[in-house]
Structure 1
């Protein structure tokens, strides 16, 4: 059998705690040494100088080159006899890959994916090419679709966000980014000369949309929590009162889990002289858009307020095994995007052409199994475990922050990139975060923290390095560096 299959066995070894880098992988090309602390004459670490030095020296740590570990496609020889050898070898590759996935799932904390799901009942549908191309509400000539499931899911979300069936339009997207691209596009079509406003901590897809659509984009400052700074928002609105406003509101920012105050954003627009017919609000609720309705005292995202669209991800809190999302907007807005497509015998106003027809079935299945009450229990569990983890970090002397409406715990960035990679942490500057999802148990959080504490002993034992100062990221009260604790 061709040797390329044997390569996988080495690359997917799970005997050790972490996967080793390939022999030809140049670690120094992407990983910089931690920045030593800047110590003042009084012996105290100068936090501001350390932050400045870190920002100057640290480069983004890129992952390894997949070409060093890819699986070559090997063509069978033209005169190969039909035997089971090739199938057996491929089965062995897949078995090793499954074991690797199992291992990586055990050490997954930094990204907002709910990995606790069971869809065995849907395996029977994998034999079909299910494609929901075109408008979800109009059947095309392609009959192998799941629109009946898709529209059922859309109706559920429309009820959640208080929009009547005859007043909304939406579809199941291929990811959260597509929902944002569509939301911003609808806003641009409603206001072709509008200016896009987004906080600096908005998801990168919002700024991608601005580049793709050649829109003028104004970045708004944020508070330490990550929430949009409405004072800065007001000041920048006043500079552009002659043009309509298209605003991205974050229902949970990517890094800090901050929830923008939708009501305050609307009030700021009104106070600045923008009537409801001169602004469009897109709500990016990728993760927390589905969690917030089940949190007591949380502000409500509702189409009874003057918003234009809401998007959430289906592979995050819901726990769909493939990337997908839900995008809902007002029916009156989408007509500007819709075009008849004779080839489909349908209309289309989506971003993509072909759309995954399996995703709506997975979403429908989960919504039916869990319902409002099931999601409420899972949200309460996530918030409870997040508070537990934040308290344990602080008790251990590690600077940390948790926004009131979030399950994203922000803390000091670990000093070891291999440790970061092992636990699949998401990092930005001097901070990292753990997103507590339904599959993240107290036991897993304890295992992570115990390993982190052991590593910190080796990182800081000789005094060469100190914990990163995160005061500029999360506020001085949440920072426990030598200067602020």
Structure 2
């Protein structure tokens, strides 16, 4: 394809079995012609092309919409490189006969060289770029689609759910959940039309349930907050399904999560009962909302810290969940004690972890008014890599929930016989965004417990997993209260994967009722998307199969020690700066070096653009005591070496390294 300009002949097959041929000229059809050209502001990828590339490629890449076909034509270098980048990767246009093989190979060669350069100095993001998965190339020649629930095979057999279930069992063990999953919640793979009850009684409702994600931890965060909203709003969970099937529940009178604040009850009304129904369908059950006394039926309020990932803010908008700031503003609540006004997010400590005292104050302002709490903690914040102390937060929050009758909320439904029945739920949901820390920290803790890692005496590795319980106090025993409801992590960060992936996990008793079990795929529609990448399970399974717990402990200690070494080297530079012996023109004279406890991220003053691009560093602006600080950081992931760190330290020691105009 793409080498000739003659007409191409196509064969048409007709219903009567006859064949006909038609010739098609290049560029014919209804597509726009001439093809629209981009404007003058071409996007530009730093490092993809260089000016010497332009000299070599100009004869292959004519710039049809610009007189600037050579570096000497007066264009700025970045504009010219942007134009050549666009032309190099532009695909077939209506007047073309296809992309030439020479140009296709050239584009791939440039891309390979670009990624090789990126891999050499990739320090600024929490991802692994040096991977070893070429032995899985055969899996790239087949569609691997884990559509539907991980614990039901379904009818689409080009899937790898058998690997997905093994991966989920692995994480359930690491996160101290009860495993394996209790599959009694879902019946056989084949639907029996004579048996409409698709949900049965659970033997172990505390066993885990989860799935491998396609969109990384963001997908897990969205699903976790969605599940929390569902649970706290009194909607039917999968664990309630056998009761509904037995007692004949129907659809709710109203199902709307857009507000639920003005009268404290929300717009999710109680369901009606149809006594003639033998059992409710899944579609009806998924929308069922349990009745609750007015005082307890208010909409859930979301709390997350100022250091939380942007996907959390996106999720609350997508799911129409009210944050405490928006709810307090709408309802004109006075600011709580210690605050001049309502903060937009829960304040964080200087190290990036959530301020648990502030969280407790903010939560109580809503708890005393009967609002349940949907709380998101971090195990490894995005920029500082900080770890929230979930256990300490629980010690403060559980007594608050107890004081305001949110430890056990009563929901009611009327069964098909007209009898009122009761369901008990907590008035809180805790989700842990463990994009980085949920894979890294368990192995660091294992290393500490086995004496492989020595930490400072006052440094503890915070717990965040499903084993976390409340404590027994002088006034109340919280030791049976499960603190964590759901956890999400990324597979492409600390573990490493060529594409985004992740794991979401909760307990079976907290699993949402799916809307249906489509006969097309013969599996419950329990996950966020329909189709899911089966390759995410294949690649994650392969990595875990090739690396023992000891291997991962060694990796965790290596990453931790590199971060310690980097922080130490940067502090040596900072001492020179503060004494005026290095970068004497910096104002103020400081590199602002910091590292949160146990973090793999080391934060420092943002260097110049050349260093930022060379090491692929990210940046963030922070305000401290009214002073603006432009910061960057390095993540010591598994591919990072001491030699790379030494090169960075050398470059940061050169004149002009922190000149932001360069």
Instruction: Report TM bin, short chain.
Output: 0.7 to 0.9
1:234 maps to 2:360: yes
Partner of residue 509 from structure 2, selected from 301, 321, 332: 332
State the alpha-carbon separation in 2 of the partners of residues 378 and 148 from structure 1: 27
More RCO (CA 8 Å, sep 6+): 1
Distance 1:331 1:459 in 2: 54
State how far apart, in whole Å, the 2-side matches of 1:170 and 1:447 are. Answer: 42
Secondary structure in 2 matching 1:91: helix
Spell out the pairing of 1:121-160 with structure 2 (5 A cutoff). 121-160=135-174
- Tell me how far apart the structure 2 counterparts of residues 9 and 24 of structure 1 sit (CA, whole Å): 12
* 1:73 aligned onto 2:91: yes
2:658 equivalent to 1:454: no
Deviations 1:72-126 (A, max 9, x none): 111587988xxxx933431232122101110112121111111232112101111
> Which aligned pairs between 1:236-251 and structure 2 lie closer than 5 A?
236-241=362-367, 242-251=370-379
- 8 Å contact from structure 2 (residues 604, 632) kept in 1: yes
1:179 to 201, 210, 220: 220
Could you say which structure has the larger radius of gyration? 2
For residues 400-456 of structure 1, the C-alpha deviation after alignment (integer angstroms, 9 at most, x for no partner) is: 111222111011122x23432332111110211111101010100111121122154
- Deviations along 1:149-204, one digit per CA (max 9) or x if unpaired, are 11100010011111122311111101111111111111111012211110010001
CA contact (8 A) 2:230 2:512 kept: no
Whole-angstrom distance in 1 between the partners of 2:517 and 2:361? 42
| Residue pair 2:391, 2:464 contacting (<8 A) in 1 also | no
1:371 aligned onto 2:548: yes
2 CA distance for matches of 1:275 and 1:132? 37
CA deviation vs aligned residue, 1:37-88 (integer Å, no higher than 9, x gap): xxxxxxxxxxxxxxxxxxxxxxxxxxx89985772111587988xxxx9334
Q: Which residue, 341, 356, 361 being the options, matches 2:538?
A: 361
Q: 1:256 aligns with which of 375, 380, 384?
A: 384
**How far has the Cα of 1:234 moved from its partner?**
1.3
What SS does the aligned partner of 1:431 have? strand
Q: CA deviation at 1:351?
A: 1.4
RMSD: 3.0
Choose which of 621, 629, 632 in structure 2 pairs with 1:432.
632
Q: Which moved more, 1:396-405 or 1:369-378?
A: 396-405
How far the C-alpha of 1:300 sits from its partner, in A, is 2.4
Contact kept, 8 Å, 1:189 with 1:336, in 2: the verdict is no
- Which of 392, 416, 434 is 1:285 aligned to? 434
- With the length of structure 1 as denominator, give the TM-score of the two structures: 0.79
**For residue 592 of structure 2, what is the aligned residue in structure 1?**
399
Task: Label 1:115 to 1:10 Cα distance change in 2 as closer, same or farther (>3 A).
Answer: closer
Distance (whole Å) between structure 1 residues aligned to residue 656 and residue 104 of structure 2:
42
> Distance in 2 between the 1:79 and 1:73 partners?
11
Cα distance between partner residues in 2 of 1:452 and 1:170: 44
Distance 1:10 1:413, change over 3 A: closer
| Matching of residues 311-330 of structure 1 within 5 Å | 311-330=488-507
Q: TM-score, normalised by structure 2?
A: 0.59
Structure 2 gap segments, 5+ residues each:
4-36, 38-43, 54-70, 183-206, 234-298, 325-344, 409-425, 449-459, 469-482, 575-590, 622-629
| Aligned with residue 320 of structure 2, among 211, 214, 227 | 214
**1:13 is aligned to 2:54:** no
Q: 1:388 Cα deviation (Å)?
A: 0.6
TM-fit CA distance, 1:143: 1.1
Task: After superposing the two structures, state which structure 1 stretch, 245-254 or 397-406, moved more.
Answer: 397-406
Equivalent pairs, count = 414
The answer for the alignment partner of 1:301 in structure 2 is 464
SS at structure 2 position matched to 1:280: strand
* Residue 132 of structure 1: how far off its partner (Å): 0.6
- Tell me the residue number matched to 2:267: none
SS at match of 2:129: coil
Could you tell me whether the CA contact under 8 Å between 1:249 and 1:262 is conserved in 2?
A: yes
Contact 1:11-1:69 within 8 A present in 2 as well: no
Alignment of 1:419 with 2:611, yes or no, is yes
**Contact kept in structure 1, 2:611 and 2:651, CA below 8 Å:** no
Query: Whose helix fraction is larger, Structure 1's or Structure 2's?
Result: 1
Q: 1:76 to 1:93 in 2, by over 3 A?
A: farther
